[in-house]
Structure 1
Amino acid sequence: MKGNVFRGAHCLLRGASLLGHPSLRLFVIVPLLVNILIFASLLGLTINFVDRTISGWMDSIPAWLGFLEWLVWPVLIIVFGLLAGYLFTALALLIASPFNNLLAEKAEELVTGKPVAGLGGFTAALLALPQGLLRELHKLWYYVPMAILVLVLSVIPGINVASPLLWLLLGAWMMSLQFIDYPMDNHQLRFADVRAAAQRHRLSSMGFGGLVALCAGVPVLNFFVVPAAVVGATLLWCEELQQ
């Protein structure tokens, strides 16, 4: 199994450090604005829903099992936090996908010093929106069966104790494929090629995707994780996966 978990995670941190670069700054603004609008709109609804849901579950626990509350609350908060982070991030990616391709294109040109035959500009990104939506729906079609399986396992007594870990592993894999797809799509590679590249370098991909998944569930930080992950995935593509 090729790769290194820490090297993959470090790509996200390096991607974040490049967001203020003059050649990337303009292409970061659009995905960032999309994220802020979506997260700000849905954050209040999610907090209210989670609070009511968890409180209802706690009220249904018999009094003699009240000592379990200290364990159940953190587990449920982690699960709901990860799910909300994935939902928000997926929605933001669905809307801003062509602009993320454009950011990956400019990031690769910055890193390699070579032109990339990608979208070319904001007008081309707008025209590519329908195609980008189809690509995102293709990825969603791949993710949903695995998410349903983990959801079923999460309600099975005994197995559900491991549900936070299962969601984190699934999230790491989903996020790695999601963002690695942007630089590879700019090279006209299929989603099947993206999966194959990530599988060959599974440790690096999971390290990168795992840190993205954790950041996606942190309020405010998740505003910035999408552009940082696009640039970080481009670094991972240029330095490791492309080989």
Structure 2
Amino acid sequence: MNGFAYVLKGFGLMWRPGIRRFTLIPLAINSLLFAAGTWAALHYAHQWLDHLLPGWLTFLNWLILPILFIGLMIVAFFTFTLVANFIAAPFNALLAQKLETQLTGRAPPEDTTPLWVMVVKTLAAETRKLLYFALRAIPLLILFLIPVLNLAAPFLWFAFSAWMMSLQYLDAPAGNHQVEFGEQRRLLRAMPVTSFGFGAAMTGMTLVPVLNFLALPVGVCAATLMWVEQGNAALTTRAIKTEQ
């Protein structure tokens, strides 16, 4: 339950004095994209489902349609989460930095990189994550188009989404410590249950109206707390083992 607990604590962290103002831009970006995503998903869902369901399975509509609908919502909202994180990446890093400073009493290592270079590096890192996501998402999306097999697609996508959510949000605090994407993946694999719990909670949050508007700042705050309590320790332990 640790992963779920971090998300619950993220709600309180985002409203702390000294932190609230750094949540405004990520919150605004996320709200706009999720509002557009909700409208598009609800407006076109029926048409998508008609194409995904073959005629000879119509007698099972009562069972299959809800499963496919939930799967499509997960895909749609997760995609909008990726886009929101891509746009808000520099602001997420700033939010994570301010929160970590408040939680630990010390700031992450100072980066003297010029602001414009930092923005370019951040966006480049987000692009690498999008490519990582696309190469793995395409086979899962193809499953949605295969009759019968598409019943398993929503469950597989949920598990994949949970993993990607953990990667997506951990990047803000870990990136402030110049931890690269590959090392972030290794850190999350070292604590699989917590990582999956965190990602599953964030995926579920994107499916709940109103709460999904808050997902971006809550996720960054929760991931920052997780980094402070577990990520730094795991990184230190790995460094010690490497030296030995």
Q: Same fold (TM over 0.5)?
A: yes
- Decide whether the 8 Å contact of 1:215 with 1:225 is kept in 2: yes
- Decide whether the 8 Å contact of 2:10 with 2:222 is kept in 1: yes
Q: Match for 2:100: what amino acid?
A: E
CA deviation vs aligned residue, 1:25-51 (integer Å, no higher than 9, x gap): 000001001112222234322221112
Identity between Structure 1 and Structure 2 (%): 36
Q: 1:16 aligns with which of 11, 28, 47?
A: 11
Q: CA deviation at 1:132?
A: 1.7
Q: Match for 2:81: what amino acid?
A: T
Q: CA deviation at 1:158?
A: 4.7
Q: CA deviation at 1:10?
A: 0.8
Q: Could you list the runs of 5+ residues in structure 2 that have no partner in the other structure?
A: 234-244
Q: Distance in 1 between matches of 2:145 and 2:32?
A: 33
Q: Distance in 2 between matches of 1:154 and 1:57?
A: 7
Q: Distance in 1 between matches of 2:111 and 2:206?
A: 27
Map 1:1-243 onto structure 2 (within 5 A). 6-55=1-50, 61-62=55-56, 65-117=57-109, 124=115, 128-243=118-233
Indicate how the Cα distance of structure 1 residues 119 and 55 shifts in structure 2: closer, same or farther if over 3 A, else same.
Answer: farther
Q: CA deviation at 1:218?
A: 2.5
- Decide whether the 8 Å contact of 2:163 with 2:199 is kept in 1: yes
Of the structure 1 ranges 33-42 and 91-100, higher mean CA displacement relative to structure 2 is found in 33-42
In the superposition, the TM-score normalised over structure 1's length comes to: 0.88
Indicate how the Cα distance of structure 1 residues 57 and 184 shifts in structure 2: closer, same or farther if over 3 A, else same.
Answer: closer
- Decide whether the 8 Å contact of 1:84 with 1:217 is kept in 2: no
Q: CA deviation at 1:157?
A: 4.6
Q: Distance in 2 between matches of 1:223 and 1:127?
A: 30
Q: Match for 1:28: what amino acid?
A: T
Of the structure 1 ranges 165-174 and 47-56, higher mean CA displacement relative to structure 2 is found in 47-56
1:3 matched to which residue of 2? Answer: none
CA deviation vs aligned residue, 1:193-216 (integer Å, no higher than 9, x gap): 100100111111111011111112
Q: Distance in 2 between matches of 1:15 and 1:219?
A: 18
- Computed over aligned residues only, the root mean square deviation of the Cα atoms, in angstroms, reads 2.1
- Decide whether the 8 Å contact of 2:64 with 2:151 is kept in 1: no
Indicate how the Cα distance of structure 1 residues 25 and 170 shifts in structure 2: closer, same or farther if over 3 A, else same.
Answer: same
- Decide whether the 8 Å contact of 1:19 with 1:228 is kept in 2: yes
Q: Distance in 2 between matches of 1:43 and 1:158?
A: 27
Of the structure 1 ranges 96-105 and 43-52, higher mean CA displacement relative to structure 2 is found in 43-52
- Decide whether the 8 Å contact of 1:102 with 1:118 is kept in 2: no
2:241 matched to which residue of 1? Answer: none
Q: Distance in 2 between matches of 1:206 and 1:115?
A: 28
- Decide whether the 8 Å contact of 2:52 with 2:144 is kept in 1: no
Q: CA deviation at 1:128?
A: 3.4
Following TM superposition, the consecutive aligned residue runs of length 4 or more in structure 1 with deviations greater than 6 angstroms are none
Q: Distance in 1 between matches of 2:209 and 2:72?
A: 13
CA deviation vs aligned residue, 1:124-171 (integer Å, no higher than 9, x gap): 4x7733222111001111111111122233444554322111001000
CA deviation vs aligned residue, 1:86-124 (integer Å, no higher than 9, x gap): 11111111111000001111111121111223579xx94
